[in-house]
Structure 1
C-alpha cells in the first residue's frame, strides 16, 4: 500500500510480524493517512511470504526479509524507515538509513508469545504440548504457530535475533512503557489485543512524531 503526495519527504513503513501485523493493520493505514495530510509520502510493502506475496512463508528466512526490505528501499530511494515491533528485525542491517522504531522486540520474544498461544490451543484440544517440544519440532521442520507455517530457518534466525543498535535511530515507546527510549507517545499496545483494533490518538501521535523526526 502507498500514499503519495508532491513532496520530497518519503518514508517506508515496515510492519510488525505475524499476528501482530493483523492486529495493527488499521492503525498503520491511519498513520499513512495522517502522514499524507502532513505532506509526507509513505508506503507499506508486504514482506515475502505474507499477505499478497506469492512466496510460501515456510520457505522464507529472516535474511530474506532483510534483503527484500533493503532492495525495496534502494529501488524507491528511501533513506527514512519507520519500523514497528518485530519489523525492526527486518531493517537490522540497514545502517546507512535513518530509523524510527516503535517498541522494538527481540525475535525470541515474538516466538515465545506465539508458542504459548499454540500450547494453550493444544491444551484446549486435549493435547499436551510444551514450549521445549515445539522448539525441538521447529528445528527439524515447519511449525504452525498462530496460523503461520514457520520454517526451521526462520525459527532459528528469529530465536537468535536481537534488537540492533543502529547508527541513526529514534526509539519510540508508549507512555506506559519504561524501557529505554528517545521519546514516548500516548496510546495502547494494540499488538496485545485479542482482535484487530485501532487507536486514533496513537496513530496521530505516531504520524506527528515521524514528521518531526524527518524534519530534523
Structure 2
C-alpha cells in the first residue's frame, strides 16, 4: 500500500508481525493518511508469506523478511524506516538507514504471547499442552500459532532475535511504558486487544512525530 508516493519526504512503514499486524492495520493506514496531510509520502509493504504473498508462511524465515525489507527500501530509494513492534526485527540489518521504532519487541516475547494463546485455546478444547511442549514441536516442524503456520527455521530465528541497537534510531513508546525511550505518545496498546481496533488520536500523534523526525 502506498500513499502520496511522489512526495519529496518519504518513509517506509514496517508492520508488526503475525496477529499484531491484524490488530494494528487500521491504525497503520490512519498513520499513512495523516502523514499525507503532513506532506510525507509512505508505503506499507507486505512481508513474504503474509496477505497476498504466493509463498507459504511455513517456508519463510526471518532472513527472508530481512532481505525483502532491504530490497524494498532499495527499490524505492528509501532511507527512513518506521518500524512497529516486532517489525524492527526485519529491518535489523539496515545499519545506515534512519530508524523510527514504535514499542520494539523481541522475537521471543512475540512467540511467547502466541504460545500462551495456543495453550489457552487447547485448554478450552479439552487438550493439555505446555509452553515447553509447544516450543519443542515448533523446533521439529511447522506449528500453527494464532492462525499462522510457522516453520522451525522462522521460529528458531525469531526466538533468538533481540531488539537491534541501531546507530540512527529514535525509539517511541506509549506514555504508560516505563522502558527507556526517545519520545512518548499517549495512546492504547492496540496489539493487546482481543479484536482489531484503532486509536485516531494516537495515529495522528505518531504521524506528527514521524514527520518531525524526518524534518524538512
TM-score bucket (shorter structure): over 0.9
- TM-fit CA distance, 1:46: 0.2
Residues 1:2 and 2:2 are matched in the alignment: yes
> What is the aligned partner in structure 1 of residue 122 from structure 2?
122
Tell me which residue corresponds to 1:174. 174
Aligned to 1:187: 187
Please provide the CA RMSD for this pair. Answer: 0.8
Deviation string, structure 1 residues 146-179 (Cα, Å, up to 9, x no partner): 0000000000000000000000000000011010
Runs of 4 or more above 3 Å deviation = none
Q: Conserved in 2, the CA contact under 8 Å of 1:6 and 1:39?
A: no
2:13 and 2:6 mapped to 1: Cα distance? 18
Matches within 5 A, 1:1-216: 1-4=1-4, 6-215=6-215
Aligned residues: 216
Q: Is the 8 A contact 2:5 2:43 kept in 1?
A: no
Give distance in 1, aligned partners of 2:107 and 2:172. Answer: 18
Deviation at 1:7, TM superposition (A): 2.3
Q: Tell me if structure 2 keeps the 8 A contact 1:89–1:107.
A: yes
State the TM-score, normalized to the length of structure 2: 0.99
1:92-136 Cα distance to aligned partner (Å, 9 max, x none): 110010000000000000000000000000001010000000000
Question: Displacement of 1:72 after TM fit?
Answer: 0.2
Partners of 2:107 and 2:180 in 1: CA distance: 18
Q: What are the ranges of 5 or more consecutive residues in structure 1 without an aligned counterpart?
A: none
Query: Match of 1:170, SS?
Result: strand
